[in-house]
A and B are shown apart, each in its own frame.
Chain A
């Protein structure tokens, strides 16, 4: 288990597994809240993917340290900056989804999808 194996292969496989939990959970879970959680896990997987892109072996924070020069000594800050925005997007999506779930709960009394759909048709 070398460092290289972990950082270049296993990490991305784990991210792929995490990403696939999203669609699978959304398809196979019946509870709307669980679907929402699966959606969140999927968004987090994308965020971790971006963060993994910014990492470098043996590099430090992207703040200039006197005497330490060269691009290989600093990690790439851009993916982190992008993911701040993506986290905000994920947060607001979750907020909207929770508001909708509250409404569904208030109007139908349940959060199980098949039950909601059955009551919707009545």
Chain B
């Protein structure tokens, strides 16, 4: 019972001149996502307006913009979590590895197995640390205890939290600190071996030290994963991403190399936002 209505939009993708130029600059890399003429409404509220955006493989793409600009909505459209909101309508296409994920025949469960997500507030399950990480592999049919153990250890190592929790794997995850919980959630996400990791302001609920650890982790993960991170924190975007998209009022204002966006943005509004003149 998908709340999303998909209209097959065969319009040619129209990029603005600046956008096209920037895209050409980073055209060399492979794209994991290709968004074409995406529109999204919450009831009557037109939340995303004609979005055209590529996501590069094995890179960190940052999405920035003021609150309510649609950046989280866009992120949640990439794994169709946005459908959980009732009254959502979508048109346009999002190609994930060439297939339109907005097609109603595309199984969300399959998509979400390939695309992991880390949330704003850490949301471990009220289970042990081990069970949290083993959750994904278990629903995908892995029962072998030894195998599960290996997956859990690798995932926790991958999320740079193994050393902190290896002696307390069977304790409740809620005994961990906020920063540890968030890295546990990243480990939980790694355990299903996704291609893409979507991060929705993953450090907004964390203290500076934990934030730094998560940022380091993101740097290390990008060689194996394509990462899309929504952030309020512009320094963070500048530090960890290679491409950046600036959203405003549901539109992509500018997209390009992070260096370019943060040093010589083409659009006045991007410049205003980055320099803190609004938002």
Answer whether A and B are interacting partners: no
